Amino acid sequence: MKFTIRKAETKDLPQILELIQELATFEKEPDAVEINVKDLEKAGFGADAFYTCFVAEANNKIEGMALVYFRFSTWKGKTVHLEDLVVRKGTRGMGMGSALYKKVIAYSLEQGVKRTEWVVLDWNTPAVEFYERSGANVLRDWDTVQMDENAMKSYLER
């Protein structure tokens, strides 16, 4: 299947949201997605765009996406964070994921960052092995820490 990798446009957002939901289901969090197309548009387009998204398109359909944004490391400086990389279940194994990944790495270098980083679920063995084969270091001695909105409010009310 022929496909192209390009920067996402607002018209792609409904299909990008479908991919986000598909990823959430794969990651055993089917009810975790709270955002909508309007949220994606507000955060990713315009003068104050917070993220950049690349898509894999085949036959006028978005089959995969990679969403990135900038972070800052006190050790390294400006970095790129890969939030999500997902390809539709029916089109996996055709090179779209690898092409999106390559686009993210190229974008990171174009932006002059010192590091690209992301998290991967430890049980997603195919992804872990792919990242290791690509030369990425999977840091198994760090834990991801998060606080949702309710936890933040609760903490501040103590």
Helices then strands, each counted (H, E), the chain: 5, 5
Q: Which of 69, 101, 131, 155 is catalytic?
A: 131
SS3 82: strand
Write out the two tokens for 122: 């430890």
Cβ-contact 54, 7 below 8 angstroms: yes
**What's the chain's Rg over C-alpha atoms?**
16
Give, as one character, the DSSP assignment of residue 47: T
Q: What is the total residue count of the chain?
A: 158
How many Cβ atoms are within 10 Å of 78's Cβ, its own excluded? 14
Write the CB contacts of 43 (distance below 8 Å, at least 6 apart in sequence): 49, 50, 51
- Per the annotation, the verdict on 155 as an active-site residue is no
Catalytic residue positions, numbered: 131
